[in-house]
Chain A
Amino acid sequence: MKQFFDEFYENYHQDLFQFIMYMVKDRSLAEDLVQDVYVKVLKSYDSFSGKSTEKTWLFSIARHVIFDYFRKQKRKRNRILGFFDWHDKGDELKDQHPVPEELIVQNEEIQQVYDALDHCSVNQRSVLVLRYIQELTIKETAEVTGWSESKVKTTQHRAIRTIKALMENQEEGSGNHEETKK
């Protein structure tokens, strides 16, 4: 087991952590989910068929772990909403996690993109992270998601459009704000 772990850790750990971190934006949660991924990987390594690469197989597992987490969170949130009767305002409540230190030193535009990821759906966000941060191809992303390549392209396109719209709105907002100042 140690040998498999070492192999995966050396080859994929930082990519794996980064993928999860951009998906959940919470370092301690990301650390827990990384553990979950390794547990699943080590328990099911015998079932790895070799049809895909190790990396896409690993990211596929990680994606399932992340989606399972979000599903559980959604059920939990729905139960709490039902109990406290917060109406639709509850969806607007967000967890406030500290921005990673690596992002603090980045320019404002980069931070805007980082924030904009929150406005994408989980599927869109996963495609964006896989495609632009992990630099997977359309085909590899399709293997990870289990979709067709065209669905990956469509999802990617919609995600970018969502972010672009957000950034345009922010630019307009800041432009109007400057004119008002003048």
Chain B
Amino acid sequence: MKKQKNNDVEKRLRQLPSLKDHQSKEKLYLSVRARVNIPERKFPPWLFPSLATLTVILLLTVFIPTFINQMNPVTMEDSSEGSHSKSDSSLEESKGAEKLPEQDKTDKNHPLEKNSNQTQEHSSTDTHSNDSNTSEDSVEVNSLLAGNGEGKTYAYPGMNGETVVPLTQTSSLSDRVPAGSLGLSERITEDLTIDIEQGRAKVIFPDQFKVSGSSYSQMVIDSIRWELEGENIKTIQLETSSGRAVPLGNYGEVKELSPIEKGEYIFKLYQFEGSSHKFLAPVQVPDETSFREALQMMKTRGNEKFITSPVPGHVQLATVETSSEEVSIQVEHQAWASEQQVLTMMEAIMATAHQFGYKEVKFEGIQVQSFSFYDLDQPIQVPEKVNPI
């Protein structure tokens, strides 16, 4: 009975029905796959890291040379600034000399550029054959004088209105001066008509001419006076097209201006931030300033941001007036930063000397083995016009 019972149990166990799963195979697979958390790769696992690495390498290959090229000019400027601590103006000299060849293409078509290039070529030829005792040979020297009686003067305010820079157009080309690329503001006397007759100048303003602010009025006045400088003008008459006096801001209604008088200005250097162009800029001095005092004023930097002294810090100047038309200047100095530094200083002094009524300047004590621009043994004729373009 017992054994039979065991068999009965086993028999009944074998008779238990088959229990089927009703869930779909696909649903089960999706659930399992999500939990296994092994995403099926369409691409081999090394593909994306390899592509990313390759992309980075390509980008670096493209950008690093570009970056290095962009950094090089900055490095040169930095080194120039290093020499600035030794000499106040050497920075400006070397900057101008180095950057001129890199000017914009638009500038290259302009007479100013041609003039500069010609000057550079001329000086290069002269200096290559001679050794100079300057501490840093510079073959790219640039004259800031326009000579005597050549060309017409146009006045362009500085970018901040800190000065009015007279430019002398020596070329017969009537190209518009690219003031912005030279670091200057647009000429504000463009719309004025200037008639010169028998030592009298008449400046006619458009009726709708308006000034905004006292500094703008000052720039208008300075521009007119500098454009008429050297024209032997005795009086400058201002009027509007309808014949009335010209309203010039704080100056009120102005009918007449006085021409620039002797000893009214000295010359310093103007160079706008980032610009490679440098100009002699007139800076007004108090009445009855002597030429000796003027030279000392030239050594000071002043408060204007973009105006610097053309006289290096290591230079000491003393004057010995030999006649009413010639002045002798004793120069004591240490090592020059470049030939350009010497030339710029001399030309600024000569332009100032012209402002003070002298016709010749004799420089004494400048120690250079060779100087291509001027004969230092002879008195040098002062310029009537500056900043050739």
Residues of chain A touching chain B, judged by Cβ–Cβ distance below 8 Å, are 1-2, 5, 9, 13-14, 17-18, 21-22, 30-31, 34-35, 38-39, 42-43, 100, 102-103, 105-106, 109-110, 112-114, 128, 132-133, 135, 160-161, 163-164, 167-168
Contacts and interface: CB of A to CB of B under 8 A. Distances in A.
B19 A18 contact: yes
B36 A17 contact: no
B21 A39 contact: no
Interface string B5-35: 1101110111111111101010011011101
Contacts of A106: 15-17
A34 B6 CA distance: 32
B173 interface: no
A21 B15 CA distance: 16
Contact of B6 (A31, A113, A164): A164
Given A35-B35, A38-B32, A17 B20 contact: yes
A164 B18 contact: no
Interface in B195-217: none
A100 B13 contact: no
Contacts of A35: 28, 31-32, 35
Contacts, number: 92
The 3 A-B residue pairs with the shortest CB-CB distance, nearest first, are: A132-B13, A17-B21, A102-B17
B40 interface: yes
A128 B21 CA distance: 20
B5 A1 contact: no
B16 A22 contact: yes
B5 A164 contact: yes
Contacts of B35: 35, 39
B10 A1 contact: no
A103 B17 CA distance: 7
Contact of B9 (A17, A103, A164): A164
Contacts of A34: 21, 28
A18 B18 contact: yes
A21 B19 contact: yes
Interface of B: 5-6, 8-10, 12-21, 23, 25, 28-29, 31-33, 35-36, 38, 40
Contact of A132 (B5, B16, B18, B33): B16
A18 B31 CA distance: 19
B36 A167 contact: no
Nearest to A167: B9
A13 B21 contact: yes
12 contacts: A1-B33, A2-B33, A9-B29, A21-B19, A34-B21, A34-B28, A35-B28, A39-B32, A113-B13, A133-B13, A167-B5, A167-B8
B29 A5 contact: yes
A75 B33 CA distance: 29
Given A9-B25, A163-B9, A164-B9, A39 B16 contact: no
Given A5-B29, A110-B16, A160 B36 contact: no
B237 to A, nearest CB: 100
Contacts of B33: 1-2, 5
Contacts of B6: 160-161, 164
